[in-house]
Amino acid sequence: MDLDNRSVQILQTIASTVKVSSKEIMEKYDLTRNQLDYTLKKVNDYLQENNYRKIIRSRNGSFVVDTKVVDSFSGIGNNESQLKADEYSFLDEDYRLLVILLLIFSENYLSLYHFSENLEVSKNTIVSDIKKLKGKLKKHKLTIDYSRKGGYYFRGDEETIRGLILVVIDQVMESIYNHLIFEKYLAIQPEEIEVQRELLRLIETELQVQYTDNRIQTAPYFLVLLNRRVKNNNCIEKRFGLLAKEIMDTNEYGAIVKVLAGQKMLPKSYTEHLYLCLYILSLKITDLSNIFSLNKEALRVHIEMFITMLEKNTIIQLNDKEQLVENLTLHLIPAYYRIRYGLTSDYTLTDIIKNQLDPLFFIVKSSIAPLEVFFEERIPNDEIYLITMFIGAYMQKEKPINLDNTIVKAAVVCPNGIISSKLLENTLDNWFPMIHFVSSYSIRDFYEKEDMLDAQLIFSTNPLTTDLPVIVVGNDLSAMNKTLIVNEVIQLIYKIDSYKLQPDHVLSIIKKYLPMNTEIEGKIRKELMISYNSIFQIQDQEILTNETKLNLSDLITKDSIIILENNLSWSEVLQIATQNLIDREIVDHRYLKHLEEQFPEVTPNILLGNQIVIPHTIPENGARELGMCLAKVTQGFISQGQTYHYVVVISATDKKMHIQPMMQLLKIASDPEVIQRLDSAKDKESLLAIIQEFKRM
């Protein structure tokens, strides 16, 4: 027996879809319960006749399908499916519409007569079909137009058109008409498909990846139709900008170009060959409908959520947040594609730099969840380190550049892409306030613009052939390399040998004649460093290099711990804990007043891990020194229906010194086992012992 179209479609849907229900089948095909029962009976009769097990409907309305039925009748990319339409089959309306879309996509000239003859329906039917298609295309901001010279054609963004066709090809591949549509109506020869399939196999070998069977089945058809579209001069106009630089720096891009060039299949157009490479890279992604488009507004919203969480975890109120959001958006757009495509780049950081970044890195990673929601992927640590460097450089840059105080202009040359260039520029800019950095360039851009460059000094990660003085900085901006770079800068700008003026050199002379203990030596070295940096206008990079050795245990000492046994309110706990800071002259009385005004109740922005309340305010509201007070409320206190046991009132005088202590406090708040140990601690000594375990973590 043979199955009618409806029965074929329902068999394919049940075999291809996991946990599809009777209700979903009835809604999709507009069937009554009786019609579905009748169709299932016909399907099961057909299966039994061909030695397959019947489809069983369970009590909850889902279907139990034998694996052999799935293997044989699943429409998704299944070349061996036993359900195939022969060349005399007639397309129903839904698939006729898909054919019209694919024909417009791939053919050079199409008239009403062409459609009518090929699809064997009247011209009126085609007119009606195209009208329906126009309605469906509105949501994609596309339409179908007609001209005597060009016939029927798409009007709209070429990138969007191609995204739509990717979806259409997937839909065709799921039907019994797939071979009929591709071979009869679109005249795609099996030999053409095999050429593209072989290309993908070569790329798999080169990249050492394995695409899914679904992708291997559908991608060759899109590549064939794409070639036709390009030959018909329907080319993409988009300039990929920053994304192009980021993608071109990856190993995967180079491997794909190598294979395409070797097969003489690399498009001549730069944008087309970049698009083709991006498409091939995207084959690892499940949803291809919008692989080349990014909702920047949604990204900005998630960046704002990330910054809000970061401010809470660092107890820092960042300045000029609008500019920070814009800059982070530019930074994260290429990162989005790297993360989605699983690309490997050359933005590798040494262990030295990672160790220096660790305190801020931990806080950034603890705040990264909103961005991971947007990316729909876990963000790799290397990408978080890059974000950390970006945030750290921004946190340092608290004041605008004063061009009156700059001595020379400089440029940064870095071949590793826009992100590395900007990070290097930001770091150097923060080290050297007497230098105005005009821009950053790739090596090729530098040589093209060298004659017009308004700069007297070049910082480069690679040696350059130029008449301008070049300081080669490499990729390792550790404290040791910073000293060498600073020496070179001072020699070039001030024309003196700064080695003999360096604090360590001066200190070595002093120690020859004056014995001193380690504490005194450290204090003298610090004073010499301040003087040296002041003379030559050198900035310390504390936020990135963590040169300051403060730990949580340096701020929470026996004197700054309070254990409260009584039944107290939130306002009483806040007063008692802040009074501890007032008594120790870390804050003045204004600090308590501002805390009481800002936090009449406990709010989410002063909660760490939903366990520790961290009230704080800006330094201008009465902060004198960096300090903390830990109050443990044994019986707990209630605020807005929630019970809390720990309050740490924090006084911060800048955006740098407290980063590591906050990282350690965040680790404590995020660890339920540590909180349980704090709960069990009966005295200050026990609490302090737990806190000291997090020293230098």
- pLDDT at position 209, please? 72
pLDDT at 290: 46
Say which residue the tokens 């080349």 belong to.
Answer: 292
Question: What is the distance between the alpha carbons of residues 357 and 354, in angstroms, rounded to a whole number?
Answer: 5
For 259-286, letters b (16+ CB in 10 Å) and e give: bbeeeeebbeeebbbbbbbbbbbbbeee
Estimate to the nearest angstrom the gap between the alpha carbon of 345 and the chain centroid. Answer: 14
Per-residue model confidence as pLDDT tens digits over 558-590: 999 999 988 899 999 999 999 999 999 999 999
Contact (Cβ atoms closer than 8 angstroms) between residue 361 and residue 354:
yes
Q: What is the pLDDT of residues 428-479, one digit of tens each?
A: 877 787 888 888 787 777 888 888 888 889 988 878 888 889 888 865 555 5
Assign 400 a pLDDT band (cuts: 50, 70, 90): very low
In the predicted model, is pLDDT for residue 377 greater than 70? yes
Give the integer Cα–Cα distance in Å for 514 and 479. 27
Domains and CATH numbers, the chain: 5-73 (1.10.10.10), 93-284 (no CATH), 296-396 (1.10.1790), 403-545 (no CATH), 552-692 (3.40.930.10)
Token digits for 482? 């910073």
At 50 the pLDDT is 82
DSSP string, 112-181: HHHHHHHHTS-HHHHHHHHHHHHHHHGGGT-EEEEETTTEEEEES-HHHHHHHHHHHHHHHHTSTTHHII
Residue 478: per-residue pLDDT: 53
Across the chain, what does the average pLDDT equal?
A: 78
Query: What mean pLDDT do residues 1-28 have?
Result: 75
- Integer Cα distance of 62 and 621 in angstroms: 64
Q: Map residue 274 onto helix, strand or coil.
A: helix
Is the pLDDT assigned to residue 522 strictly greater than 90? Answer: no
C-alpha dist (Å) from residue 512 to 152, 543, 568: 91, 34, 60
CA distance 577 to 592: 10
Residues 223 and 99: their CA atoms lie apart, in Å, by: 17
Tens of pLDDT, residue by residue over 178-188, are: 777 888 888 88
pLDDT band at 286 (very low <50, low <70, confident <90, very high): very low
CA dihedral of residues 540, 440, 388, 525 (deg, nearest 10): -10
Whether the per-residue pLDDT at 85 is higher than 60: the answer is no
pLDDT for the residue numbered 677: 92
CA neighbours within 13 Å on the CB side: how many for 234?
23
Is the model's pLDDT at 55 over the cut of 50?
yes
Residue 32: other Cβ atoms inside 10 A = 9
CB 441 within 8 A of CB 466: no
| Percent of all residues in the chain with a pLDDT value above 70, rounded to a whole number | 79
Q: How confident is the model at residue 239 (pLDDT cuts 50, 70, 90)?
A: low
Long-range contacts of 638-645 (CB under 8 A, 24+ apart): 638/569, 638/570, 639/570, 639/601, 639/602, 640/601, 640/602, 642/602, 644/602, 644/611, 644/613, 645/611, 645/679
Over residues 327-331, the mean pLDDT reads 76
